[in-house]
Amino acid sequence: MADIIIRPMRISDARPMAAIERQCFSTPWPAQFFREELESNVCARYLIAARGREVIGYGGIWMMVGHCHLTNLAVAPAERRRGLARRILRALMALAFDELEIRSMSLEVRRSNAAAQNLYLSMGFTVNHVMVRYYEDNGEDALLMTCDDTARWMK
Ligand SMILES: CC(C)(COP(=O)(O)OP(=O)(O)OC[C@H]1O[C@@H](n2cnc3c(N)ncnc32)[C@H](O)[C@@H]1OP(=O)(O)O)[C@@H](O)C(=O)NCCC(=O)NCCS
Q: Ligand 1: which atom is nearest the Cα of residue 25? A: 42
Q: In terms of pTM, does the model score above 0.75?
A: yes
C-beta pairs of 79-83 under 8 Å, 24+ apart in sequence:
79/49, 82/1, 83/1
Query: Of 36, 79, 108, 140, which residue is the catalytic one?
Result: 108
Rounded distance between C-alpha atoms, residue 23 and residue 36, angstroms: 21
CATH number of the domain at 95, please. Answer: 3.40.630.30
Report the residue among 81, 106, 144 best suited for mutation to probe ligand 1: largest number of ligand atoms under 8 A from its CB: 81
Range of the domain at 126: 4-153
69 Cβ inside 6 Å of ligand 1: no
Domain count, the chain: 1
State pLDDT tens for residues 70-82: 999 999 999 999 9
Give pLDDT tens digits for 95-106: 999 999 999 999
